[in-house]
């Protein structure tokens, strides 16, 4: 275990490969983050519950509990701390499972540490939220979204969304009836497109739909993309 403290907040890094852990820690520290490093999933879960970091960077393949299991247990506890996964390039199934469990993003190995830091900062910006210039709630059908409070209700019932899921729904509801391509959504919500597959968008849309159910607000336009009901 290694702990550094800094001004942007504490990031929990759980990675068992020393060379990767040292490199990620170096770049996070340079960017002003504090870093708490753990080498296995069990210790990582304990640290997440004890330290309440601003974000978690989890390798998927860890000794003990896997990164996906750590994420699953945090979400089961009602802990929605942003999670970014580190995963092998060919582990698409693990990436999709991780997103379905409520992870906010993932970076495939080998990766640029600068890209990881940029992704993490983008996730934290989404978590903090950007005040809506109108300050007005958005209502589509039975779904109400409050950009200022970052809350969502469906048929009057509160819905818990990750920061990424919230921003995806907010983007669609900002222009009801307008069809967005997956590439447009990647650029607008995630802040990048070149290094991400459109499957990421599909998984997040499926998660939002599942959480809003039985209310339906997002429509699929086959071969094009997605739109909120107009």
Given 128, 162, 189, the domain boundary residue is 128
d(CA 158, CA 63): 36
Verify that 49 and 111 share a domain, yes or no.
yes
Verify that 79 and 14 share a domain, yes or no.
yes
Verify that 12 and 108 share a domain, yes or no.
yes
Query: What pLDDT, on a 0 to 100 scale, did the predictor assign at position 135?
Result: 57
What does the pLDDT look like over 31-47, one tens digit per residue?
999 999 999 999 999 99
First to last CA, the chain: 52
Given 71, 99, 128, the domain boundary residue is 128
Q: What is the mean pLDDT of residues 98-126?
A: 85
Query: What pLDDT, on a 0 to 100 scale, did the predictor assign at position 192?
Result: 60
CATH number of 56's domain: 3.40.50.2300
What does the pLDDT look like over 148-207, one tens digit per residue?
888 999 999 999 998 889 989 999 998 899 999 888 888 788 766 545 567 788 888 999
Number of domains in the chain: 2
Element (H, E) at 36: strand 34-38
Confidence of residue 27 (pLDDT cuts 50, 70, 90): very high
CATH number of 186's domain: 1.10.10.10
Verify that 23 and 109 share a domain, yes or no.
yes
Query: What pLDDT, on a 0 to 100 scale, did the predictor assign at position 5?
Result: 47
Structural domain span for residue 106: 2-128
Verify that 117 and 147 share a domain, yes or no.
no
- Integer angstrom CA distances of residue 66 from 26, 104, 172, 219: 24, 17, 33, 34
Verify that 84 and 45 share a domain, yes or no.
yes
Verify that 38 and 120 share a domain, yes or no.
yes
d(CA 147, CA 174): 10
Q: Count CB neighbours of 133 within 10 A.
A: 7
Given 87, 106, 128, the domain boundary residue is 128
Verify that 72 and 181 share a domain, yes or no.
no
Verify that 116 and 39 share a domain, yes or no.
yes
User: Per the domain annotation, does 133 fall within a domain?
Assistant: no
84: its two tokens: 């970014």
Reported pTM? 0.68
């Amino acid at each position: 275990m290694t702990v550094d403290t800094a001004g942007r907040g504490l990031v929990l890094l759980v990675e068992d490969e020393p060379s990767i852990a040292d490199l990620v820690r170096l770049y996070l520290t340079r960017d002003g983050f504090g870093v708490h490093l753990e080498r296995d999933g069990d210790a990582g879960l304990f640290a997440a519950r004890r330290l309440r970091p601003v974000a978690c960077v989890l390798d998927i393949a860890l000794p003990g509990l896997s990164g996906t299991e750590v994420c699953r247990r945090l979400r089961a506890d009602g802990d929605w701390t942003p999670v970014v996964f580190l995963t092998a390039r060919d582990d698409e199934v693990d990436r999709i499972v991780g997103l379905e469990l409520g992870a906010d993003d993932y970076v495939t190995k080998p990766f640029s540490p600068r890209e990881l830091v940029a992704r993490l900062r983008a996730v934290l910006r989404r978590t903090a939220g950007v005040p809506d210039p109108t300050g007005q709630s958005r209502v589509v059908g039975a779904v109400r979204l409050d950009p200022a409070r970052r809350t969502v209700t469906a048929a009057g019932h509160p819905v818990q969304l990750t920061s990424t899921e919230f921003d995806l729904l907010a983007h669609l509801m900002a222009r009801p009836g307008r069809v967005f391509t997956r590439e447009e959504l990647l650029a607008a919500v995630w802040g990048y497109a070149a290094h991400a597959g459109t499957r990421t968008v599909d998984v997040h849309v499926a998660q939002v739909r599942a959480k809003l159910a039985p209310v339906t607000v997002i429509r699929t336009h086959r071969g094009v993309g997605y739109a909120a009901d107009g």
